[in-house]
Chains A and B, each alone.
Chain A
Amino acid sequence: MNKLIFGRYYPGDSFVHRLDPRLKLILNILFIVLIFFAQHWPSYVILGAVVVVSVWASGISLGFFLRGLRPMLWLILFTVGLQLFFTSGQHVYWQWGWLSISREGLINAGYIAARFLLIIFMSTLLTLTTQPLEIADGLEYLISPLRVIKFPVNEVALMLSIALRFVPKLMDETTKIMNAQRARGVDFNNGSLLKRAKALLPLLIPLMMSSIDIASDLTTAMISRGYRDGEGRTRYRILKWQSRDSWVLAAFAVISTGMLVLERMM
């Protein structure tokens, strides 16, 4: 588990680290959309260059990235394999029963692999360079237009921020309960699937009870400190859009327009 860097934060103070989280979130979404517009190799080269430049600007070494992505390799190979063997086409190079490798299959598999890698790289870069808190703040801002349809934006944002704040605490709690149960003879790692599933009960139930305790303590503490509901609150933490954010956005707009024009011409 520890090798997986997907979804983790890598502390730093690079150019990418200091970008506005809202910008990073939006660019990630736009980038993924853009990937699905790419139908030709030159577009992939451009997108790949964008990823490489972004990783370089984040100050995180490419090697660290690749090592972290190793656990996802099987997923990629599996999908690529499916594409490779099951796409039917005219130029068949190799056939064995219902398995065949065709030219279309090869191209498709290549595209799929490229898309996979680019999406994983970009979203990993987002979580590596943005603190969970900033992501929560960014999301709150992005969903704030939903206020018009009476969506409880403040409450959802508070929920998200409390959930994130209690993730490490609950992880600790889980380890503690696991060790406590192990000390009492519970075996979590051996036996049949059914046996292992049953062994999880003495972990899950205390964990749930302790979550309820935490929730009730936290509610009491929040009410005592004057929390009523999301309305009428002021904010301590605010996001600041800076000129570098505008520049990055402009650069992305130029690149994506360029790529779309290129796609049209081919």
Chain B
Amino acid sequence: MVPIIQVKDLTYTYQNSKVPALQNISLTIEPGQWVAIVGHNGSGKSTLAQMLNGLIAPQSGEVYIDGELLTEESVWAIRRKIGIVFQSPDNQFVGATVADDVAFGMENNGVPRAEMIPRVQAALEQVGMTAYATHEPARLSGGQKQRVALAGVLAQRPQVIILDEATSMLDPQGRHDVVSLMTDLRKTGQFTIISITHDIDEAALADQVILMDNGQLVTAGTPAEIFVQGDMLQQHGLTVPLSEKVRQGLLQADVNVADHYLDEEQLVKNLWTLHSNK
């Protein structure tokens, strides 16, 4: 199987800075996976995301999307395969109303109007915003705007969806809505999802976690492999997920929980087992 994203030896330094934002990053992502890229502010996550669709050109190294090398010629074709939802709900809302915003990407790619209308409707339905089609952005909440942004991406039918800190400016309810939408999308299996986040609980839902710090790739693995190394996470300015915190606390209180990372469901099961074995 051709990896959907392959990054080789990527290096990039911003004009006004001495430290490179990215240093020799190499990674491979298989189609259909949900990959979370975590790291504290300034670790190079967003730079990496913008490099994947050619918003920033690497100073050295190569990016392959779906087997195709990202170059000046192929960049527009590649942008059709990648949809990005950015951080600020307001500043990425181009259209004057919800439906216009969802259609914007298709308009750019010359999709005929007759095809646009059902695609806009389908995308709005997928994110549960059908009732808001004619609303202006000023009348929507942050979470709703991000769902519209996601609908705009879905309407373009990309292969890869990148969420560049898409939940970081939302309230807990809005964040929950967007995250559960992402889990629904993963179930369809049509998309490779890359979520860039500092929310460690969001990262815990992914198939793969990539930890970045200071422009370098520190480690990559399944959530279970990464989160068990609590000290290492803290060294790189991150916290551990809630279930891991609870497990550590229980261990300190001499409760005999499992000695490896558990997600919330597993932790609850584990505690039940302990309780009934007493």
Please report A residues at the B interface, Cβ cutoff 8 Å: 133, 136, 161-162, 164-165, 168-169, 172, 213-214, 217-218, 220-228, 232-238
Choice from B55, B95, B116 contacting A220 with Cβ under 8 Å: B55
The residue in chain B whose Cβ has the minimal distance to the Cβ of A134 is B96
Q: Are A227 and B108 in contact (CB under 8 A)?
A: yes
For window 79-102 of B, CB contacts with A under 8 Å fall at 79-80, 82-84, 86, 88, 90-97, 99-100
Q: In the complex the two chains form, is A225's CB within 8 Å of B156's CB?
A: yes
Q: Are B138 and A236 in contact, CB atoms less than 8 angstroms apart?
A: no
Q: List 15 A-B contacts (CB under 8 A).
A: A165-B94, A172-B138, A221-B94, A222-B94, A224-B53, A225-B105, A225-B152, A226-B105, A226-B109, A227-B94, A227-B108, A233-B110, A234-B107, A234-B111, A238-B113
Bound Cα distance from A82 to B107, whole angstroms: 54
Is the beta-carbon distance between B88 and A224 smaller than 8 angstroms? no
A168 B138 Cβ-Cβ under 8 A: yes
Complex Cα distance, B46 from A220, in Å, reads 12
Q: Known A133-B97, A220-B50, A226-B109; judge A165-B92 contact (CB<8 A).
A: no
Shortest Cβ distance from residue B72 to the other chain A in the assembled complex, whole angstroms: 13
Main secondary structure of the interface of A (DSSP, over half): helix
Q: Is B64 an interface residue (CB 8 A)?
A: no
4 closest A-B pairs (Cβ-Cβ)?
A217-B91, A236-B103, A221-B92, A226-B108
Q: Which residues of chain B come closer than 8 Å to A236, judged between CB atoms?
A: 99-100, 103-104, 106-107, 113, 116-117, 120
- By beta carbon, the residue of chain B nearest A173 is B90
Q: Is there contact, CB below 8 Å, between B91 and A237?
A: no
When chains A and B are docked, how far (Å) is the Cα of A224 from the Cα of B109? 12
Among A168, A169, A225, contact of B108 (Cβ-Cβ < 8 Å): A225
| Nearest Cβ on chain B to A146's Cβ, whole angstroms | 21
Knowing A235-B113, A237-B100, say if A218 contacts B92 (CB, 8 Å). yes
List, in ascending order, chain B residues with CB within 8 A of A228's CB.
Answer: 76, 108
Cα A236 to Cα B108 in complex, Å, equals 11
B136 interface residue per 8 A CB criterion: yes
Interface centre among B107, B137, B152, by most A CB within 10 Å? B107
Q: Which B residues are in CB contact (< 8 Å) with A237?
A: 100, 103
Known contacts A220-B86, A224-B55, then 7 further A-B pairs from the complex at CB < 8 Å, ordered by chain A residue: A165-B96, A213-B91, A214-B91, A222-B104, A224-B83, A226-B105, A234-B111
On chain B, the residues within 8 Å of A172 by CB distance are: 138
Chain B residues whose CB sits within 8 angstroms of the CB of A223 once the complex forms: 55, 79
Given A165-B93, A236-B99, A236-B113, A221–B106 Cβ distance below 8 Å?
A: no
| Complex Cα gap A222–B94 (Å) | 7
A235 to B93, CA, bound (A): 17
In the assembly, what is the distance between CA of A217 and CA of B97, in Å? 19
- The answer to whether A165 and B95 touch across the interface, beta carbons within 8 angstroms, is yes
* Residue numbers in B under 8 Å from A133 (CB-CB): 96-97
In the complex, A138→B33 CA distance in Å?
A: 46
Provide the bound-state CA to CA distance between A217 and B138, in Å: 18
Q: Is the CB of B94 within 8 A of A234?
A: no
What separation, in Å, do the CA atoms of A238 and B107 have in the docked complex? 12
Cβ–Cβ < 8 Å partners of A232 in chain B: 110
Smallest Cβ distance from A125 to chain B, in angstroms?
22
Bound Cα distance A20, B34 (Å): 47
| Nearest CB of chain B from residue A140's CB, rounded to whole Å | 12
- Cβ distance B124 to chain A, nearest Cβ, rounded Å: 13
| Contact indicator B88/A226 (Cβ below 8 Å) | no
Cβ–Cβ < 8 Å partners of B152 in chain A:
225
Q: Is the CB of B76 within 8 A of A165?
A: no
Contact of B110 among A214, A222, A225, A234 (CB under 8 A): A234
A218 to B88, CA, bound (A): 10
The listed residue with most B CB atoms (<10 A of its CB), out of A223, A232, A236, is A236
